Amino acid sequence: MKVLGLFCVCLSVVFAQQPLKPCKTDSTCSCTNVDGYIDLHPIANRNNTPYFRNVTNSPNYIYSYNPCYAFTEGSVCQNAAICQLDTSVNQYYVIGYADTVRSIADSEYGLIFQYTATTDMPLPSTVRTANVILTCDENREGELQFVKEDPIKTYYFNLYSKHACPIPPPPTVPGPKTTPVWTAPPGRPTGPPAPPSPTSVPVIFSLKAVVVLLLCILFVLTFLCGLIILAVCVFSAKFNSTNNDKAELGQSANYSHKDEMKRHLKNEF
């Protein structure tokens, strides 16, 4: 059962991960990925005030956020994208400057707009990071929720908005083919340039070389024919000589046989 439970947990982790879709930053609150164009300008104030106010999940901390444009709250939170107010001491902290935004494709949360802030108030110097998770919701204009601070001084927010939904690019319609118009450079006659002249084929063999080559081939063939005729004559002469020798041997054998018969008959009588 433990093994089965562990297997189910692993499956849930695998399927819970978001597909990575990097988003190219176009401005401080817009980017483009494979799904389309995301633009938060409609939910951003331009009057140095935050669009989202009084965002909290505890009585001690309140957050403010304005996409696209910096705002100011209190004497410390200036040029900010996200501010934190500690109500217990009435102290503001910048947790993300507007000009530090970058888009991140995260396997767990999806698309994130991340902001950073390095401040000297309070001392010592402190680095804070704010992550705004963009969640597409066609039914909401814009709603910001605080998620967690984990680890310390690293903050996560969920931004639910129809403006976080990618706008697909318009379909590409092929236009009519156009013929490029040639313009003569200064000091040149008008009219399109003349077509390039056909490249001449280099002459490999001249007529004289061909004639000499044919004569050489004819000479070689004649020489070969002469050799063949000479070989036939030599072979024929040898063949005739061999036949004559055989005939002479046969005739000598006949004479010897006749002489032997004559001697034999003479002895009998």
Share of the chain above pLDDT 70, in %: 68
Q: What is the pLDDT of residues 190-210, one digit of tens each?
A: 555 555 555 554 555 567 777
Instruction: State residue 15's pLDDT score.
Output: 42
> Measured between alpha carbons, how far is 66 from 32 in angstroms, rounded to an integer?
20
- Six token digits for residue 50: 């935050």
Q: Where are the domains of the chain?
A: 17-164, 212-261
Please give the CATH superfamily to which domain 17-164 belongs. Mannose-6-phosphate receptor binding domain (2.70.130.10)
Q: What is the pLDDT of residues 253-267, one digit of tens each?
A: 555 655 666 666 666
Res 12 pLDDT > 80: no
> Measured between alpha carbons, how far is 217 from 220 in angstroms, rounded to an integer?
5
Q: What is the pLDDT of residues 83-120, one digit of tens each?
A: 999 999 999 999 999 999 999 988 889 999 999 998 76
CB neighbours of residue 77 within 10 Å = 23
Q: Which residue has the higher pLDDT, 16 or 213?
A: 213
Instruction: State residue 16's pLDDT score.
Output: 46
User: Which phi and psi angles does 65 have, rounded to 5°?
Assistant: -145, 140
Q: Residue 82, SS3?
A: strand
CB neighbours of residue 81 within 10 Å = 30
